[in-house]
Amino acid sequence: MEQKYYARVLKFVLVIIVTVLFLFPIYWMATMAFKPFPEWTAATGKIFWVPNNPTLNNFRTLFTRDINFS
């Protein structure tokens, strides 16, 4: 009985780890979309999980600039 409990806990922990590994890139892209460009390239040595100065300028540039992706 105790062995089944540990197996379930281990399986749950592995599922959580895999879920975080799959969702972290999506979270990273979403936070980078709202960061101004200088925050992308700032060499402060700190990782900010939430943008300091959230902006929609990246979306404005995306939809208004004539960019040829091909």
Count how many Cα atoms sit within 13 Å of the Cα of residue 31 in the half-sphere of its side chain.
14
In this prediction, residue 69 carries a pLDDT of: 67
pLDDT tens digits, residue range 8-47? 999 999 999 999 999 999 998 988 888 887 777 766 666 6
The whole-angstrom separation of Cα 58 and Cα 67 is: 13
In this prediction, residue 70 carries a pLDDT of: 59
In this prediction, residue 13 carries a pLDDT of: 98
In this prediction, residue 22 carries a pLDDT of: 97
Count how many Cα atoms sit within 13 Å of the Cα of residue 25 in the half-sphere of its side chain.
3
Binned at pLDDT 50, 70 and 90, residue 48 comes out as low
DSSP category for residue 34: T
